[in-house]
Structure formats: C-alpha cells, structure tokens
Amino acid sequence: MSVTNLRPNMEHWQERVDLAAAFRWTARLNLHEGVANHFSLAINDDGTRFLMNPYQVHFSRIKASDLIEVDANDPETLTGPNAPDPTAWGLHGGIHRHCAHARCAMHVHSIHATVLASLANSRLPPIDQNCATFFNRYVIDDHYGGLAFEEEGERCADLLTDPKKKALIMGNHGIMIIGETVAETFNRLYYFERAAETYIRALQTGQPLRVLSDEIAEKTARELETYPEQDERHLSELKAILDEEGSNFAT
C-alpha cells in the first residue's frame, strides 16, 4: 500500500503529505540552502494559522508528521516547544497575516533565482516559454533590510498584496513564491528557477537576447495559467516516485 494512504491521527494530513513531498523534492533539486529556508501552508480561513517546517531540519528529512502549526498572530509561538525559526515566523507570518490569497508560501535561496536577485536589474525578460510564465507576474524588492525578522517580514508582505503577483524577487536575498495550494506553489517555484537559469545562461553567452513581444508574453502567461492540472499532476508524479523509492516522507 502507498505510504500516502497511511493517515495518522493528525489534522490536515493530505496537506502535510503534499508539503513534505515538496520539501523532499526541493532538496533533491538542490533548490534549498542548508537548513535556512522555509515553506508554509495556511490551514484556517484567514490564513493566520499555518503549517511550517520544524526549526532547522534539513528538507531531505522532513516528514508529514514533523510539520509544526504556527499562529501568525501569537508572538508567544516563538517561546514554546518546537518554536519556528524567528526569521521564518517573521517572513511567513507577515505574508499570512496580510495576504489572504497566499495560502502557500515557499522561500528559497535557489542558485539561479538568487543570482537574478543579485543583479542591479533583477527583471526576468520573456526570452522563452518558462520566462514568459512570469511576465507581469512578479515583484522586485529593491530594499533588502537584513534578516527577515518581524519588521522585515511585514515590509516584504506589503509587496505581495496584488493577487496577480505570485513571485517576489527578493533583491540581495532569494525568491518567495506564493499560491493557493502546495502543488501550484511548488510548480511555480520549479519553473521560476528553470526560467532564471535559462536567462542567466543566456546572459553568459554574451549574445543578443531574443525577447518575446509583450503581447505574446502576456498571451503565453495566460495560457499557462489555465493549463489543466499540470501543477497537480507534477506533484502527484513526484509523490509516486517517492513512494516507489520507499521514502518515509508521508509518515
């Protein structure tokens, strides 16, 4: 029997399994950085209670049952057992308090997205289909203010209030991707890193870029937004691979 069918007596079990799979695959693709990055998923109507990875546990070891519940409105969360990383609470708490549409938030320091965030011009031009996915759908943060404790987290959250903008290119820092589900958000994270890699490698050639027109870039972005079930199928396949390998991610 698939381990994803084993359901301990814990609430939000399927959400936990999906999030654990996203952690495991993010580690496999080397999109994480040590034990410093965080994913969160809202579990109440206003989004202020959310699941998050436990304090400084490597993504490759996280199981569904390991995920902690965090209250964005309760600073005492930081003093209890299994308290989250203070920067995780600051950044993700700020987003879940102020952006109800951001049900899921994934923050990483993946290599190519971080290279992009380190350029004086961090714009991602639509030079291929993956890049076009994000046309007019990201925000660039030009005012990095240090570690994402509460004040910095609030500032970043203010940049994501437009529901159309699902990616925050965090200048001098990394990337924050938001979405409604784990599958949607992870899929977007995956393709943002692929898009950033294509752009960075294209720059390295020193050759002129073939940039799509705004009209075609927007058309492509809209078509991809409505492409049926790709995000769900992507995550489903990753969970199936983990199951076949005997992974304990869904325990």
Full pLDDT tens readout for the chain, 251 residues: 455 555 566 899 999 999 999 999 999 999 999 999 999 999 999 999 999 999 999 999 999 999 999 998 888 887 877 778 888 888 999 999 999 999 999 999 999 999 999 999 999 999 999 999 999 999 999 999 877 677 888 899 999 999 999 999 999 999 999 999 999 999 999 999 999 999 999 999 999 999 999 999 999 999 999 888 999 999 999 999 999 999 999 99
The residues spanned by each domain of the chain are 3-244
What pLDDT is recorded for position 77? Answer: 80
What pLDDT is recorded for position 1? Answer: 41
Give first-to-last CA distance, the chain, whole Å: 13
What pLDDT is recorded for position 145? Answer: 80
The CATH number of the structural domain formed by 3-244 is 3.40.225.10
DSSP letter at 186 equals H
Counting Cβ atoms within 10 Å, is residue 186 exposed (0-12), middle (13-18) or buried (19+)? buried
What pLDDT is recorded for position 121? Answer: 98
What pLDDT is recorded for position 82? Answer: 74
Location of structure tokens 């693709």: 29
